[in-house]
Structure 1
Amino acid sequence: MIFLFPSDYFNPKKADTAYLEQVACMQNAGFETRVISLESLGSGSSKIIPVPTPNSKVVYRGWMLTPGDYELLVSVVESSGASVLTSLAEYLATHYLINWYGLITDLTPETKFYSLDDDLENQLNQLGWNGFFIKDYVKSLKTSVGSIINQPEQIKTVVAQMQKFRGTIEGGICVRRIEDFVRETEKRYFVLSGKPFAASPDEEIPEIVFECAKRIESQFFSVDVVERSDGIKRIVEIGDGQVSDIVGWTAERFTQIWIDN
């Protein structure tokens, strides 16, 4: 197994500083690591440094990529004689909310999907909800006015700010029903080859994570779980494991799940 990290912008032979701790832990555990210039993906000149061992399996660990850039990444990996753990289809299966929502509708807040061409204010009025959480298929707005609104007419401002600060709306608009979450209870879990892992080896993993692992066919993904005020566990987010931050985890623990797998 080879772990592929984004290279430093000024030193293409070294991993980006944000991932140096993970690189060191992986290497100490006996795993091979490589780097790739994400900036060069679109030019066709991007190369993996050093060249991967032939027929090896590659796991990307880096920033979120658009579908087009991830497809280019897969192409670079395969042209080097290696293969990816996560195909483009598998990447999008957990990276885009619309792709995983239908598999766990009973475990996560109710969600409606729209395009930018829809009359969003009218659509929200028809829902009649008390509150709305707005995001695109991948991310929510964490700056400016934020992502939570109470009045349908506010969605125009949120979408405009998403386009301003994000540069683009990826996929479409997702409107999620507000539930009474206890925010400080949110935790991230990883599922690798169907087996869930927690940030601590001694932590009891909620049943909802095991249920999610059964329903979603992906080699490696993250699951964010939060407790509602009534004590019920809910899934608030699922993401491709390769581009999920290890928030709440140590690099050592993250490395260990690959050793235990």
Structure 2
Amino acid sequence: MLALFPGEAYQAHVLESAFAEEQYAATAAGMETALLDFEALTEAGDARRAVRGVSSIAAPVPALYRGWMLSPTQYEQLYRALAAKNWLLINTPDSYRHAHFLPENYSILAGSTPETVWLPVTPGFQIEQVFPLLRRFGDSPVIVKDYVKSQKHHWNEACFIPAASDQSAVRRVVARFLELQGGELAEGLVFRAYAALKPIGTHLRSGMPLTAEFRCFFLDGELLAEAPYWDEAEYDAAAAGSGSILPPPSLRFAGVARQVRSRFFTMDVAQQDAGG
């Protein structure tokens, strides 16, 4: 099996330092590793050049990409470029899109995640289009993101809306969010009911609230590993100061994970402030 990691920016022959430990672990596990020219793929749109450092092989072998986020279009380009060399990424382009875009998998997550609504942002989009969608939330708080990411590090100005009924606040926060996302906006806008999660601190640089969250890795519907989401917070210290932090309820989410139409994916889970 091949593990593909990104090279340093504009130095594709040098491993991106953030993935050094993971490359070491992959090699120790007996996997072949190679480097992706991330800029060639994402900026130049040249997938063949991006995988020029990957050798061709005679028969198909599974491959795993571990690196920076790609759009579904970029992922499909990478998938095809590797397949031409007989390396088959573990997730197909359709599987990647299904797990990548929240609206694609929300029907599976509903009941285990805050209520969510969305709409695509197309040419001619006006912020007034979101107001009917937000009526269901009444005066309750919501957060805004796109189909993939939020601007959580700009929490008060581009993520958190204290009352969904406050059209002035909605306009201000959504406009700022769209400004910050710019050309990287993924498809459209997503609004989610705000959930009060267990606090564990404040981000030192952005000031956003940090909560007890964990990232879980799944392969073929089975949990492989789980780890604290935030490197910036001491989970044990937070637990000592504000009560116990519960580990992710793996069994509760196992049924959900088995419905996700992706072989290998991550799921972020968080503890509610009221427990559970």
Shared fold (TM-score greater than 0.5)? Answer: yes
Residue in 1 that maps onto 2:172:
157
Residues 209/53 of structure 1: CA separation in 2 closer, same or farther (3 Å cut)? farther
Q: What per-residue deviation string (whole Å, max 9, x for no partner) do you get for residues 157-191 of structure 1?
A: 22332233222321111110112221432111111
Runs of at least 5 residues in structure 2 that lack an aligned partner in the other structure = 200-210, 228-246
1:210 aligns with 2:254: yes
Most deviating of 30-39 and 115-124: 115-124
Q: Is the 8 A contact 2:158 2:177 kept in 1?
A: no
Shift of 1:206: 2.7
Cα distance in 1 for residues equivalent to 2:153 and 2:109: 28
Residue in 1 that maps onto 2:129:
119
Q: What per-residue deviation string (whole Å, max 9, x for no partner) do you get for residues 240-260 of structure 1?
A: xxxxxxxxxxxxxxxxxxxxx
**Higher relative contact order by CA 8 Å / sep ≥ 6: 1 or 2?**
1
Residue in 2 that maps onto 1:251:
none
Shift of 1:129: 4.0
1:101 aligns with 2:106: yes
Runs of at least 5 residues in structure 1 that lack an aligned partner in the other structure = 233-261
After superposition, residues 38-57 of structure 1 pair within 5 angstroms as 38-41=38-41, 42-43=45-46, 44-54=48-58, 55-57=60-62
Shift of 1:209: 2.1
Q: Is the 8 A contact 1:197 1:205 kept in 2?
A: no
Residue in 2 that maps onto 1:138:
148
- For the residue of structure 1 that corresponds to 2:33, the secondary structure is strand
Q: Is the 8 A contact 1:48 1:77 kept in 2?
A: no
Most deviating of 187-196 and 207-216: 207-216
- Amino acid corresponding to residue 163 of structure 1 in structure 2: L
TM-score (norm 2): 0.76
Most deviating of 55-64 and 221-230: 221-230
Q: How many residues align?
A: 230
TM-score (norm 1): 0.80
Residue in 2 that maps onto 1:195:
222
Q: What per-residue deviation string (whole Å, max 9, x for no partner) do you get for residues 41-96 of structure 1?
A: 21353224241544111111111111221111111101112211111110011110
Identity, in percent, stands at: 26
Which of 194, 215, 223 in structure 2 is aligned with 1:178?
194
Q: Is the 8 A contact 1:4 1:61 kept in 2?
A: yes
- Amino acid corresponding to residue 190 of structure 2 in structure 1: C
Residue in 1 that maps onto 2:266:
222
Q: Is the 8 A contact 2:217 2:225 kept in 1?
A: yes
Which of 138, 147, 152 in structure 1 is aligned with 2:159?
147
Q: Is the 8 A contact 1:121 1:156 kept in 2?
A: no
Q: What per-residue deviation string (whole Å, max 9, x for no partner) do you get for residues 174-220 of structure 1?
A: 110112221432111111122113337xx775322212222212101
- Amino acid corresponding to residue 170 of structure 1 in structure 2: A
Cα distance in 1 for residues equivalent to 2:221 and 2:132: 41
Q: Which has the larger radius of gyration?
A: 2
